């Protein structure tokens, strides 16, 4: 009998963080308990090892994100609900009879699709919803748990809009975001140079040094960016009159507008976020006389349209971890007792939402 089948035969109760209405996560989230299903011949049963909390997860719960899971009665018969979370790493605990030539208990996998609901302990699902990964490729479990969003977004931002060559330059806002730090590590690997913009803060100098260690060529604050007379001298000097061909933006607003002024003719600005909540204002002269192009990138849409390419990209990112091209930026691991009472299972999640720094929920099981 499979290892997982032995566990499931004891009628395990899984736990999940779910919501039945949109709103403030601290108010609408609740913990539900559900029987862990024995998988059919064509299914796998997995348990979650770690699941990140990403900004898009919060936006889904608030009801303001374009992609949202359907609310069903699968786990809550009386009230339709959805399980929160989109990213995580799982361990296979039971394998359907028709899949045992390809899968076995103990293997790790990540999500191939969105809206599966990853803030939970257990899931029974079709294998096409998973991508098998090698646990030994990663330095720690949080790297595997965060494999499918930030590293993949970083790679696509560097490669989907402009074909950079070794020695070329790009600029990016929000360089100390998790995506930004992944971009820097990949850029170092590919031989790209960068001018990176961070928000002015008391610890700016130490943050600049940290980003340089990750691969940044130059780092400036948004306040320094606004010193136009100085920047007009520095950017040509730094780039040796080979201005950046790509701008990567997750801030928008005045910072993105100012960055655009230092890009090459016919350069592209690739936008993947708008943390300032301000519109992107571009002077008409940059469109007419510099022929700037604008490109938006949303990983969810791309992977829905290109599922096979997404699978290949995930495995490529895994190999970058194996080869030490990528390392996980600092995250806060938050312990979750997988067997806790509902209120105690919910608390680490609600405490982590809105807290400073990226959080990865680490599930602990009795065995």
Task: Please tell me the distance from the alpha carbon of residue 207 to that of residue 196, in angstroms, as a whole number.
Answer: 11
Q: Where in the chain is the domain with CATH 3.40.50.720?
A: 151-300
Task: Please tell me the distance from the alpha carbon of residue 313 to that of residue 133, in angstroms, as a whole number.
Answer: 12
Q: How confident is the model at residue 367, as a pLDDT? A: 75
> For residue range 142-185, what is the model confidence (pLDDT) as tens digits?
999 999 999 999 999 999 999 999 999 999 999 999 999 999 99
100 versus 4: the higher-pLDDT residue is: 100
Q: How confident is the model at residue 328, as a pLDDT? A: 87
Q: Out of 3.20.20.70, 3.40.605.10, 3.90.180.10, 2.20.25.90, which CATH number does the structure's domain 3-146+328-364 have?
A: 3.90.180.10
> For residue range 29-42, what is the model confidence (pLDDT) as tens digits?
999 999 998 999 99
Q: How confident is the model at residue 357, as a pLDDT? A: 87
> For residue range 40-66, what is the model confidence (pLDDT) as tens digits?
999 999 999 999 999 999 999 999 999
> Strands 44-53, 89-95: parallel, antiparallel or unpaired by DSSP?
antiparallel
How does residue 90 score in pLDDT terms, banded at 50, 70 and 90?
very high
Other CB atoms within 10 A of residue 35 CB: 12
- 193 Rama class: left (phi>0) / alpha (psi -120 to 50) / beta: beta
Q: Where in the chain is the domain with CATH 3.90.180.10?
A: 3-146+328-364
Cα within 13 Å of Cα(30), Cβ side: 13
How does residue 3 score in pLDDT terms, banded at 50, 70 and 90?
very low
Q: Is there a catalytic annotation at residue 136?
A: no
Set 34, 65, 321, 365: catalytic member? 65
> For residue range 123-142, what is the model confidence (pLDDT) as tens digits?
999 999 999 999 999 999 99
Phi, psi of 38 (to 5 degrees): -75, 135
Asked whether residue 264 carries a pLDDT value surpassing 60, the answer given is yes
Query: What is each CA distance from 215 to 171, 318, 329, in whole angstroms?
Result: 13, 19, 13
Whether 353 contacts 169, CB under 8 Å:
no
Fold for domain 151-300?
Rossmann fold (3.40.50)
> For residue range 316-342, what is the model confidence (pLDDT) as tens digits?
999 999 999 999 888 999 999 999 999
How does residue 2 score in pLDDT terms, banded at 50, 70 and 90?
very low
């Amino acid at each position: 009998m499979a290892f997982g089948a032995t566990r499931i035969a004891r009628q395990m109760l899984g736990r999940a963080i779910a919501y039945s209405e949109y709103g403030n996560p601290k108010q609408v989230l609740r913990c539900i308990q559900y029987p862990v299903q024995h998988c059919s011949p064509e299914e796998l049963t997995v348990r979650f090892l770690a699941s990140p909390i990403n900004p898009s997860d919060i936006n889904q719960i608030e009801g303001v994100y374009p992609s949202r899971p359907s609310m069903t009665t699968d786990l809550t018969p009386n009230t339709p609900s959805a399980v929160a979370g989109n990213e995580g790493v799982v361990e296979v605990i039971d394998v359907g009879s028709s899949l045992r030539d390809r899968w076995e208990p103990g293997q790790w996998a990540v999500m191939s699709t969105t809206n599966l609901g990853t803030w939970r302990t257990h899931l029974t699902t079709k294998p096409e919803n998973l991508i098998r990964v090698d646990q030994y490729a990663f330095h720690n479990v949080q790297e595997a748990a965060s494999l499918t969003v930030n590293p993949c977004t970083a790679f696509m931002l560097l490669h989907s809009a402009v074909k950079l060559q070794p020695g070329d330059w790009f600029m990016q806002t929000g360089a100390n975001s998790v995506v930004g730090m992944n971009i820097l590590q990949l850029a170092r690997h590919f031989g790209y140079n960068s001018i990176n913009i961070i928000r002015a803060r008391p610890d700016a100098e130490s943050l600049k040094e940290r980003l340089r260690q990750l691969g940044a060529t130059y780092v400036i604050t948004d306040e320094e960016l606004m010193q136009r007379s100085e920047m007009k001298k520095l950017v040509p000097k730094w780039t040796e009159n080979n201005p950046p061909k790509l701008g990567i933006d997750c801030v928008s607003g005045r910072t993105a507008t100012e960055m655009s002024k230092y890009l090459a003719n016919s350069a592209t600005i690739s936008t993947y976020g708008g943390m300032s909540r301000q519109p992107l204002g571009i002077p008409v002269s940059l469109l007419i006389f510099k022929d700037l192009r604008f490109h938006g990138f949303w990983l969810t849409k791309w992977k829905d349209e290109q599922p096979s390419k997404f699978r290949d990209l995930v495995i490529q990112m895994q190999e970058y971890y194996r080869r030490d091209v990528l390392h996980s930026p600092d995250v806060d691991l938050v312990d979750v007792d997988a067997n806790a009472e509902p209120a105690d299972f919910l608390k680490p999640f609600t405490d982590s939402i809105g807290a400073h720094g990226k959080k990865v929920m680490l599930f602990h099981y009795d065995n």
